[in-house]
Amino acid sequence: PQLIVSAQRHFESVLRCRPKTRFERESDRPPPVSLDPQHATACVTQATANGGTKERVFELDAVYPETSTQQELFEGSVRHLVLGALEGRSCTILAFGPTGTGKRHTLFGGPAPEEEGLLPRTFDALA
């Protein structure tokens, strides 16, 4: 049997961090995640059982810090999927994470026009 490997990518991992909550801003604890958008990496700092910390670095296709806009996320990581769908390719956008991490806001957006989420922006792109 012959093994055929496609040069196309079938999965993209993107991380978007939401803005800090009031509690997080008032806390003197460092953030648990630091991002490097240029290198598309996220460094997660975890507490260890002996009172120290452990860092784990994850490489992704794109990372968006808490200051990123809905428009930046859409243009950088979603528009090409919409265009691919118009060409007949299947695509899925999955927002995953614990409660309160911004999934609903990312997908649906907020009340202001610039806060429009990925789904309304996708429908606008299809129109």
DSSP for 56-90 reads EEEE-SEEE-TT--HHHHHHHHTHHHHHHHHTT--
Q: For 38-62, write each residue's pLDDT tens digit.
A: 999 999 998 899 989 899 999 999 9
- The arithmetic mean of pLDDT across residues 19-26, rounded, is 84
Q: What pLDDT score was predicted for residue 5?
A: 52
Sign of CA dihedral 79, 82, 124, 40: negative
Phi-psi region of 57 (alpha: psi -120 to 50; beta: other; left: phi over 0): beta
